[in-house]
Structure 1
Amino acid sequence: MFSYPTVRTSLIFLAIAVAGLLAADIAITASNPWRDLGNFFLGVVTPNFFSSEGLMTALLRTVAFAFVGVALGSVAGFMLSLVYRFLPVRIFCAFIRAIHELFWALIFLQFFGFHPLTGVLAIAIPYSGIFAKVYSEILEEADPEPGRLLPPGTGVIAAFLYTRIPDCWVQLRTYTAYRLECGLRSSAILGFVGLPTLGFYLESAFSQGLYSDAGAMLILFYVLIATMPLWVKPKLLPIYILGAPFFLGDGLPIVWGNVERFFTQDIIPSPIRQGEGLAGLTSWFGDLMVHQALPGIWNTVILTQIALVGTGILALLLFPLISNHFGGPIRRTSGHVFLVIARSTPEYILAYILLQLWGPSMLPAVVALALHNGGIIGHLIGRQTNNIKLRGDAVKGFSRYSWELVPRVYRSFLAFLFYRWEIIMRETAILGILGIYTLGFYVDSAIQNIQFDRAMMLILITALLNIGVDALGRYIRRKLALQTMPTC
């Protein structure tokens, strides 16, 4: 039900987003956006599945990178979850998961080059931090009673394997399957930095105006995601995991001297390398903050807040599409299809497509972030409403929506929204690589100018910003007693 604190918090965030709109660059700059949009939709309905000989190879490598990266991340995350109660471990995991997969890929590209290890580690490292957090929460919620029934002298490892793991197995397996779907999206967008996954071919098709080719790639990706329950079977997972490394490709050999130089020279601030002392370092850091970090933080925060409120509005508008309390089975089926497409399309790919159609501004990023995250939250809220029992004489239509359902799910809705807040900021920062002036833009510019010391400092600032927003989101959820969290 609505309460004064939840309404007040909602209005504060709405006001911040409205103020952000006044300062944001929200415009369509393309000369004929509707024609381009029409051409794109025409390409989607007339896909060309035989456009490229490497398309199926790219799809296979997208799957391979996802399986290897998620497998390594889940194993490392599980080991970290066992010691997650220690503060240094929590800080370490918060740091590595606060850095987006594309930022990790850009880092590893500088010394591993276009080697499969770049893509695998770009997925595995942040995912291990995510797995550690979620696995630890799941294990902490295990029923302690079975452990008390064990005979005296039972070892700690045996007690853990025979009591806690069986009790949590379903939740662990379900969440790992969800992260595999996320891994497929992460793997696809790694192609935008040059790795041989689906994003590489999608960017190439758009840059040449081959919308039918791009439509075919998107359809294949949606089919891949939608059919996961059919081909991702527990009995087949060992085969997939063992076979996936053989489909990553060879890439260029690693020059280990480049790795050594990167860590011992390239990322060391230039004033330190050149012996300029504290005065030089202070000047270097001040210039970085004034001309890159602060403008990047400002635009990242503005875009995040607009996208967060846009996500909330879309989620509230979209959840009736799959709710049993509205319409019939045909409408709900159509709603499910729409929400699957919205939440399955990576924000980066959707923002890239909209940038090609509408021109450079914050608008494509706002729409991409709101659609993707709104689709996720709308799906979760819609499923919750299906468990709500209404009286036989309950009102219908808009009154049912506004007076019966929204008040009952609003607290859960806010919990989901603040849970996604940090994720939206991670994505906002990385969208700067597409030319939007968020932190990612300045990171990419520094790398292009071979200023790796500046790039690493900006990535560190991005991680700290994400950690701060995550902590603020947790504080708000705790303050408002928003207990319902996503159960992926």
Structure 2
Amino acid sequence: MMASASVRISLLFVAIGLLSLFFADIAITSINPWKDLTALFIGIVTPDFLSLQGMGTALLRTIAFAFTGVALGSVSGFLLALAFRWRVVRMFSAFIRAIHELFWALIFLQFFGFHPLTGVLAIAIPYAGIFAKVYSDILDEVDPTPARVLPAGTSTFSAFLYARVPDALPHLATYTAYRLECGLRSSAVLGFVGLPTLGFYLESSFSQGFYSEVGALLILFYVLIATLRFWARPRLVPFYIIAAPFFLGDGLPIVWGNVVRFFTEDIVPSPIRNGDGIAGLATWLSDLTLHEALPGIWNTLVLTQVALVLTGICTLIAFPLISRHFGGPKRRGIGHILLVIARSTPEYMLAYILLQLWGPSMLPAIVALALHNGGIIGHLIGKRSNEIRLRPDAPQGCDRYHYELLPRLYRPFIAFLLYRWEIIMRETAILGILGIYTLGFYVDSAIQNIQFDRAMVLILITASLNILVDTISRRVRQHLKLRTSVTCEGH
């Protein structure tokens, strides 16, 4: 019964995705996209590492922002997780994680400028909300038996420290390591708003047509992610965390008067600042809603639903690449490389590259979202498939895929896809900064026009939309009784 319910939900999402496709702006508008793609491919296979000035500094700062931001986020998230049973804490955590790192960076840039604190807080704040949710789930799943055998009169703190933390620690460490990988991607992307990380140099090289430099930067980034488990060993992590703040670089001194003015004047709606009263505020909100919020919400939803369906298709194609039930070690090795590239490339970075090659439309964003998220879920489902034992006379080829593996993997596939739904929504909104008419486009336009009051309202709408989608996703999962390990609920 639950299998048929999963299929019905899948068909509903596919139908919504196909309907959204009719409203999506999908086109290749560049004059010669194949020539540009060929030039990029040649640049990637002929990387020029020697011409990149400051690459070592950019690499160090990318790592430093990631470690500092994730460390602050994990500590803050753990403290929030301890009080997660309180509704106000859950709502606060949901709100801060619903706002993308780039939105946080755009906010802090307005009063901190290009100070290291901008990048650190842009990572730490949303990650604190993510950590709070996942750490709370991990602690709730701890076996309660050890706490029952503690001596009478043991304090609550001692019971927590000795009965719950040791059991949860491996899962906490595993998830924190995963978030560090995400932090490296977030840190690199912060370069697109001017911070001195790898994304800054990638954008500069690409805009000048230096594709060999682009290839070198991409390869360096992939190597950084792929070798993370070798150089970020647990015993070295404390050293990295202590050293990271010293490699963040310098910035102009923070003018705290700008901070005060931002919160007391800049983000206050202009009708209130100008004394136009309730009537002026109503007109202002009406104009903002009709000309920016509603078009942004519509395009965000359309792009999200198309990307979600395409992500599912990419996942179903991708997971056999690393499954031991299809092909030998050599083919699986190539599959692992392809999925590492797909899931390691941030959606924003990939969408930026495709926009330069194909021209402005929703197509680059859809493809970027589908490849990245399909790579993540394909990797997880492929690992699940390797745990399945088939009978000796199991069919081969397509029959093995359709009749043996897919029915057993379909429920976790749907669970992971629903987990990624809200994440795809967050990324869809932020991709508007690249010129796609999602909510991020209108946020960025308002900031460029120094209309911070309009930008903040649009950011709040974006956060509310993400929370709504996350709530729907959670209820659908509960209805289908879908469950995956909380450590796999990656954002």
Contact conserved, 2:112 with 2:118, CA < 8 A, in 1? yes
Alignment correspondent of 1:358: 358
Q: Matched residues in 2 for 1:307 and 1:17: separation?
A: 8
Q: 1:403 to 1:2 in 2, by over 3 A?
A: farther
Q: Matched residues in 2 for 1:413 and 1:214: separation?
A: 34
Alignment correspondent of 2:269: 269
Q: Secondary structure at the match of 1:14?
A: helix
Q: Secondary structure at the match of 1:3?
A: helix
Contact conserved, 2:447 with 2:455, CA < 8 A, in 1? yes
Deviation at 1:408, TM superposition (A): 0.8
- Given the two structures, how large is their TM-score scaled by the length of structure 1? 0.99
Alignment correspondent of 1:107: 107
Q: Secondary structure at the match of 1:50?
A: coil
Alignment correspondent of 2:317: 317
Contact conserved, 1:96 with 1:125, CA < 8 A, in 2? yes
**Is 1:168 matched up with 2:168?**
yes
Alignment correspondent of 1:155: 155
Deviation at 1:485, TM superposition (A): 4.5
Deviation at 1:163, TM superposition (A): 1.1
Q: Matched residues in 2 for 1:286 and 1:79: separation?
A: 40
* Of 12-21 and 295-304, the range deviating more from structure 2: 12-21
Alignment correspondent of 1:341: 341
Alignment correspondent of 1:372: 372
Deviation at 1:142, TM superposition (A): 0.9
Q: Matched residues in 1 for 2:296 and 2:353: separation?
A: 23
Alignment correspondent of 1:7: 7
Contact conserved, 2:3 with 2:411, CA < 8 A, in 1? no
Alignment correspondent of 2:33: 33
Contact conserved, 1:78 with 1:131, CA < 8 A, in 2? yes
Q: Secondary structure at the match of 1:487?
A: helix
Q: Secondary structure at the match of 1:370?
A: helix
Alignment correspondent of 2:391: 391
Q: Matched residues in 2 for 1:413 and 1:113: separation?
A: 42
Q: Secondary structure at the match of 2:84?
A: coil
Contact conserved, 1:416 with 1:485, CA < 8 A, in 2? no
**After superposition, what is the alpha-carbon deviation per residue over 1:35-86, rounded to whole angstroms, capped at 9, x for unaligned?**
1001001000000111222111001000000000000000000000000000
Amino acid at match of 1:186: S
**After superposition, what is the alpha-carbon deviation per residue over 1:123-144, rounded to whole angstroms, capped at 9, x for unaligned?**
0000000000000000111111
Deviation at 1:484, TM superposition (A): 2.6
Q: After TM superposition, list the pairs within 5 Å mapping 1:111-190 onto structure 2.
A: 111-190=111-190
Q: Matched residues in 2 for 1:202 and 1:213: separation?
A: 8
Extract structure 1 runs of 4+ deviating beyond 6 A.
Answer: none
Kindly report the root-mean-square deviation, in angstroms, between the aligned alpha carbons of the 2 structures: 0.9
Amino acid at match of 1:254: I
Q: Percent identity?
A: 72
**Is 1:94 matched up with 2:94?**
yes
Unaligned runs of 5+ in 2: none
Contact conserved, 2:138 with 2:486, CA < 8 A, in 1? no
**Is 1:43 matched up with 2:43?**
yes
Q: Secondary structure at the match of 1:234?
A: coil
- Given the two structures, how large is their TM-score scaled by the length of structure 2? 0.98
Amino acid at match of 1:255: V
Alignment correspondent of 1:408: 408
Contact conserved, 1:307 with 1:367, CA < 8 A, in 2? yes
* Of 300-309 and 387-396, the range deviating more from structure 2: 387-396
Alignment correspondent of 1:462: 462
Q: After TM superposition, list the pairs within 5 Å mapping 1:248-259 onto structure 2.
A: 248-259=248-259
Q: Matched residues in 1 for 2:186 and 2:82: separation?
A: 26
Alignment correspondent of 1:432: 432
Contact conserved, 2:2 with 2:480, CA < 8 A, in 1? no
**After superposition, what is the alpha-carbon deviation per residue over 1:296-324, rounded to whole angstroms, capped at 9, x for unaligned?**
00000000000000000000011000011
Contact conserved, 2:42 with 2:212, CA < 8 A, in 1? yes
**After superposition, what is the alpha-carbon deviation per residue over 1:336-376, rounded to whole angstroms, capped at 9, x for unaligned?**
00001100000000000000111110000000000000001
Contact conserved, 1:416 with 1:486, CA < 8 A, in 2? no
Q: 1:486 to 1:414 in 2, by over 3 A?
A: farther
Amino acid at match of 2:356: Q
* Of 233-242 and 35-44, the range deviating more from structure 2: 233-242
Q: Matched residues in 2 for 1:387 and 1:4: separation?
A: 24
Q: Matched residues in 1 for 2:141 and 2:485: separation?
A: 14
Contact conserved, 1:68 with 1:245, CA < 8 A, in 2? yes
Amino acid at match of 1:456: M
Q: 1:2 to 1:82 in 2, by over 3 A?
A: closer
**After superposition, what is the alpha-carbon deviation per residue over 1:111-159, rounded to whole angstroms, capped at 9, x for unaligned?**
0000000000000000000000000000111111111111122222111
Amino acid at match of 1:441: F
Q: After TM superposition, list the pairs within 5 Å mapping 1:184-199 onto structure 2.
A: 184-199=184-199
**After superposition, what is the alpha-carbon deviation per residue over 1:259-305, rounded to whole angstroms, capped at 9, x for unaligned?**
01000000000000011111100000000000000000000000000
Q: Matched residues in 2 for 1:15 and 1:266: separation?
A: 43
Q: Secondary structure at the match of 1:235?
A: coil
Alignment correspondent of 1:210: 210
* Of 198-207 and 2-11, the range deviating more from structure 2: 2-11
Deviation at 1:252, TM superposition (A): 1.1
**After superposition, what is the alpha-carbon deviation per residue over 1:237-262, rounded to whole angstroms, capped at 9, x for unaligned?**
11111110000001111111110100
Deviation at 1:6, TM superposition (A): 1.4
Contact conserved, 1:300 with 1:439, CA < 8 A, in 2? yes
Equivalenced residues, count: 488
Q: Secondary structure at the match of 1:27?
A: coil
Deviation at 1:2, TM superposition (A): 7.4
Contact conserved, 1:343 with 1:371, CA < 8 A, in 2? yes
**After superposition, what is the alpha-carbon deviation per residue over 1:160-187, rounded to whole angstroms, capped at 9, x for unaligned?**
1111110001000000000000000000
Q: Matched residues in 2 for 1:12 and 1:238: separation?
A: 47
